[in-house]
Amino acid sequence: MNWQERWTGWRNRILSDPGFQHWAARLWMTRPVARMRARRIFDLVAGFAYSQVLDACIRSRLLDRLAEGPMTSRAVAAATDLPEAGAERLLRAAAALRLTERLDDGRWTLGSDGAALRGNGGIADMVAHHHLLYADLADPLALLRRGGGGGALARYWHYAEDVGQGDGDQVAPYSALMAASQPLIAKQVIDAYRFSRHRRMLDVGGGQGAFLCAVAAAAPALELALFDLPAVGVRARQACDSAGCGDRVTIHGGSFLADPLPQGYDLITLVRVLHDHDDDPAMFLLRSIHAALPPAGRLLLAEPMARTRGAEPAGDAYFGLYLLAMGSGRPRSFEEIAGMAKAVGFRRIRRIRTAMPLTTSILLAER
């Protein structure tokens, strides 16, 4: 038995001993840690109920309504089509989670986390589509045993794997969700990297062009292009035109798993794409990007990464199960992606720090 096995065995025997737990909770010195641990475990046990409180707040548009001004429980009941007792129950549950807050006069307003959540465009859209993941996770062991996919979330995005790769109606919901949640990512990337040092940029798997339009505003001289499946490309053209950056954007329709990528771009970006793919297609994609770049051209890859310090649950717990339910891909750590990039020939691979690694980590590499 090595030292690590001995240490974890000893630690775990102590921590699971009811006598030790009782003692630690009573002693003033260990009490704060004991309480913190108990709270963490309770949150783990009850987290699915918290998520459903959030779901009810989003679907009833409770937070949007409270953002317009304080309301009584009765007014909330009328606005959300709930009985007054149901509205009061939801408001209290949401207050316990800091989504709502009761004023001294008894009316309700937004809580501090409710306000922060509303300020982040896209979170509400993510929550609204979580019923798909929730259904797929009803029996997590069944999902793990069948190796992923086959459920509601897989059907939602599976156009990319279908013959013909989707028509406008099939790609619309997923593409719209990606566009709505893109500002969370784009801000982090644009703050962390100077795009104006490049001449021509290609965003691979760029969806409806939300990231590209954000970069367009930050780097006015940059020529821009997007590569995505043809049906998504059509939506990107419309979205970029309506956002006012259409004249700077070229759209290339195709599959990055079947077609070569267009050449002549000194920067290729890959935002929230690699983690959607299993290792073989992910390596194929990295190889195609390497082949498309000129010497010293750069790859900027941005996505939430596994085992990011302080954001561990977002990687292997949330995205680990999300991508399993989707039926393809896995969250990877920076080191894993760096290893893959190196294997296809990239050099000078480095991490660029972002303000919010929970949502966005960045890897930069050179051909």
Ligand X SMILES: C[S@@+](CC[C@H](N)C(=O)[O-])C[C@H]1O[C@@H](n2cnc3c(N)ncnc32)[C@H](O)[C@@H]1O
Residues that bind ligand X (CB under 6 A): 160, 175, 178, 182, 185, 205-207, 210-211, 228-229, 232, 255-257, 271-273, 276
What phi and psi, each to the nearest 5 degrees, are found at residue 347? Answer: -135, 180
Q: Which residue has the tokens 């008894």?
A: 106
Q: How far is the CB of 257 from ligand X (least distance, A)?
A: 4
- The least CB distance from residue 212 to ligand X, in Å, is 9
CB of 275 to ligand X, least distance (A): 8
Q: Name 49's Cβ contacts closer than 8 Å, sequence gap at least 6.
A: none
Query: Which lies closer to ligand X via its Cβ, residue 114 or residue 205?
Result: 205
**Residue 268 three-state SS:** strand
At position 192, the amino acid (one-letter code) is: A
CA atoms of 219 and 269, how far apart (whole Å): 14
Three-state SS annotation for 74-132: HHHHHHHCCCHHHHHHHHHHHHHCCCEEECCCCCEEECHHHHHHHCCCCHHHHHHHHHH
Q: Which of 252, 275, 277, 290 is catalytic?
A: 275
Give the residue with the Cβ less far from ligand X, 148 or 205: 205
Q: Which two tokens stand for residue 304?
A: 């939430």
The reply to whether 275 belongs to the active site is yes
Tell me the closest approach of the beta carbon of residue 232 to ligand X, in angstroms.
4
Are 365 and 298 in contact, with CB atoms under 8 Å apart?
A: yes
Output DSSP code: residue 259.
Answer: S
Q: Please name the amino acid found at residue 27.
A: L
Is 346 in a helix, a strand, or coil?
coil
| Residues 217 and 243: beta-carbon distance below 8 Å | no
Q: Please identify, using beta-carbon distances, which residue of 162 and 312 lies nearer to ligand X.
A: 162
**DSSP helix/strand/coil, 359:** coil
Residue 77 to residue 293: CA distance in whole angstroms: 57
Task: Pick between residue 160 and residue 202 the one whose CB is nearest to ligand X.
Answer: 160
Which CB, 115 or 234, lies closer to ligand X? 234
Which residue, 62 or 204, is less far from ligand X as judged by CB? Answer: 204
Strand 361-366 versus strand 298-303 pairing type: antiparallel
CA distance 90 to 68: 18
Distance in Å, CB of 112 to ligand X, minimum: 28
3-state secondary structure of 272: coil
Q: How near is the Cβ of 277 to ligand X at its closest, in Å? A: 8
Could you give the C-alpha distances from 168 to 22, 133, 257, 347, in angstroms and in order? 60, 23, 20, 38
Residues taking part in catalysis:
275
